[in-house]
């Protein structure tokens, strides 16, 4: 793994969009010089299994195992388990493929044996041949809850079973105040070789805020003393994937890229803005890099990652390029 002092980048990620940029960063950086801090607010217990969607989306994406259509779950999947479960009257609203099921079963067994989530994720990443350090934001439970006009729901209930139909009034991160950052995240943010922190184009409210809600995480990011760059998940007022724009509107916030930048104000030094939103550049409130942020292909992911890293390095080299 990374030796102390080796140039290193930390990425905060959740969901499909975040994993795609993480993939690009993995290709754009030398082996073992990337750590990905993963959202676990989407985690939930289902069918007696501990499901960690954003961890698994990152594992599968970085190992080139992800379903190319959905971005989550595995490619070339079979569905015997789901079909048999359906015949028995089991819950099938959350689609678990046969290969994906092995991940949930093995994680659940190891947690039951007392292993920490960060140790399990690290071992799975090693076994899948991933040359990056994947770390859950915390080893203790944090659960994203959607407070809506139809009641309060677990994240997956809202996002998958109810297909984001209820109108969001607020989002809360249950048990966050009792959590602390996973030790591996704290140590990599203190690593003298750390050169940049990238906030991936994930949904800020659903995937990044749970990470930032872990006590000590924001201060550890600030104390790292390196450029923090966020990549916009919004292009021309629409989320690239998922309900980001809808949630922003329901939270009474303009579904625009500069709203995302303002949401991260005080934390970021730079913002990667999509070229279709270049007219907003003067309202972002920090240094801006204009790029094509839509990642359709693997090359797009690698290109965007390279531009983001170069942008961060220019901020490091520019006096005043970092927030005071
Ligand atoms: N998203 C869906 O919309 N429908 C599903 O049936 C579904 C199953 C699923 C199984 C494993 C997994 O890791 C992710 C899954 N997702 C599904 C995505 C999940 O809701 C994630 O939370 C999103 O990717 C947003 O982070």
Residue 81, ligand 1, Cβ within 6 A: no
Measured CA distances, 241 to 16, 201, 226, 233, 238 (Å) = 8, 10, 29, 8, 8
Among the residue ranges 270-274, 302-306, 315-319, the one predicted with the least confidence is 315-319
Map residue 208 onto helix, strand or coil: helix
Gap between the Cα atoms of 25 and 28, Å rounded: 5
How confident is the model over 95-106, as pLDDT tens digits?
999 999 999 999
Under 8 Å between Cβ of 125 and 133 = yes
Mean pLDDT value across the chain: 95
Q: How far is the CA of 95 from the centre of ligand 1 (A)?
A: 8
Q: Residue 154: which of 72, 47, 49, 46 has the closest Cα?
A: 46
Whether residue 233 is contained in a domain is answered as: yes
Ligand 1 geometric centre to CA of 225 (Å): 35
> Does residue 119 sit within a domain?
yes
Write the CB contacts of 85 (distance below 8 Å, at least 6 apart in sequence). 47, 91, 92
Is 10 strand, coil or helix?
strand
Global pTM value: 0.96
- Residue given tokens 């490619």 in the structure block: 75
Instruction: Please tell me the total count of domains within the chain.
Output: 1
pLDDT tops 70 at residue 32:
yes
* pLDDT tens-digit map of 105-138: 999 999 999 999 999 999 999 999 999 999 999 9
CATH of the domain at 75: 3.40.50.10680
Integer angstrom CA distances of residue 309 from 110, 158, 218: 36, 35, 21
| Residue 181, H or E segment | none
Question: Residues, the chain, total?
Answer: 324
Residue 46 lies in a domain: yes
Residue nearest to atom 16 of ligand 1 (CA): 72
Q: How far apart are CA 179 and CA 62, in angstroms?
A: 27
Residue 1 lies in a domain: no
Q: Which residue is closest in CA terms to ligand 1's atom 3? A: 160
Closest CA to 71 of 289, 306, 241, 319: 241
Residue 322 belongs to a domain = no
**Running DSSP on this structure, what letter comes out for residue 243?**
T
Atom 13 of ligand 1, residue of closest alpha carbon: 53
Report the DSSP pairing between strands 228-231 and 194-199: parallel
Task: Show the domain range for 166.
Answer: 8-317
From atom 4 of ligand 1, which residue's Cα is the shortest distance away? 160
| Residue 32 domain-assigned (yes or no) | yes
Is 23 inside any structural domain? yes
In short, whether 243's Cβ falls inside 6 Å of ligand 1 is no
Q: Which of 199, 200, 205, 206 is nearest to 221 (CA)?
A: 199
Query: Which of 56, 72, 107, 155 has the most ligand 1 atoms within 8 A of CB, as the residue to mutate?
Result: 72
Residue 271 falls inside a structural domain:
yes
Q: Is the pLDDT of residue 208 over 60?
A: yes
90 alpha-carbon distance from chain centroid: 30
Span 280-296, average pLDDT: 97
Q: Ligand 1 in contact with 154 (CB < 6 A)?
A: no
pLDDT band for 79, please (50, 70, 90 cuts): very high
Percentage with pLDDT > 70 across the chain: 98
In the structure, what pLDDT confidence band is assigned to residue 242 with cuts at 50, 70 and 90? confident
Say if residue 2's pLDDT is above 60. no
For 311, counting Cβ atoms within 10 Å of its Cβ (0-12 exposed, 13-18 middle, 19+ buried), the class is buried
């Amino acid at each position: 793994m990374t030796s102390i002092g080796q140039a290193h980048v930390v990425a905060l990620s959740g969901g499909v969009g975040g994993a795609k940029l993480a993939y690009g960063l993995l290709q754009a950086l030398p082996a073992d010089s990337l750590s990905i801090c993963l959202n676990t607010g989407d985690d939930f217990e289902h069918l007696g299994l501990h499901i960690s969607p954003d961890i698994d989306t990152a594992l599968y994406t970085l190992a080139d195992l992800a379903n190319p259509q959905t971005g989550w779950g595995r490619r070339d999947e079979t569905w015997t388990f789901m079909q048999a479960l359906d015949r028995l009257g089991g819950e099938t609203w959350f689609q678990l493929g046969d290969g994906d099921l092995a991940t949930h079963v093995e994680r659940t067994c190891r947690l039951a044996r007392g292993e920490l989530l960060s140790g399990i994720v690290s071992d799975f990443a090693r076994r899948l041949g991933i040359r990056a350090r994947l770390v859950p934001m915390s080893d203790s439970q944090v659960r994203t809850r959607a407070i809506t006009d139809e009641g309060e729901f677990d994240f997956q209930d809202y996002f998958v079973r109810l297909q984001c139909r209820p109108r969001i009034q607020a989002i809360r991160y249950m048990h966050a105040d009792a959590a602390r950052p996973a030790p591996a995240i704290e140590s990599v943010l203190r690593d003298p070789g750390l050169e940049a922190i990238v906030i991936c184009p994930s949904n800020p409210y659903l995937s990044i805020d749970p990470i930032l809600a872990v006590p000590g995480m924001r201060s550890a990011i600030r104390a790292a003393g390196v450029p923090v760059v966020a990549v916009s998940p919004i292009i021309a007022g629409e989320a690239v994937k998922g309900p980001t724009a809808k949630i922003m509107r329901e939270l009474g916030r303009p579904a625009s890229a500069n709203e995302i930048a303002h949401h991260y104000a005080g934390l970021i030094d730079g913002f990667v803005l999509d070229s279709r939103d270049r007219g907003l550049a003067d309202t972002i409130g920090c240094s801006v890099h204009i790029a094509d942020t839509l990642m359709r292909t693997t090359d797009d992911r690698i290109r965007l990652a390279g531009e983001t890293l170069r942008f961060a390095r220019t901020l490091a080299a520019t006096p005043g390029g970092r927030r005071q």
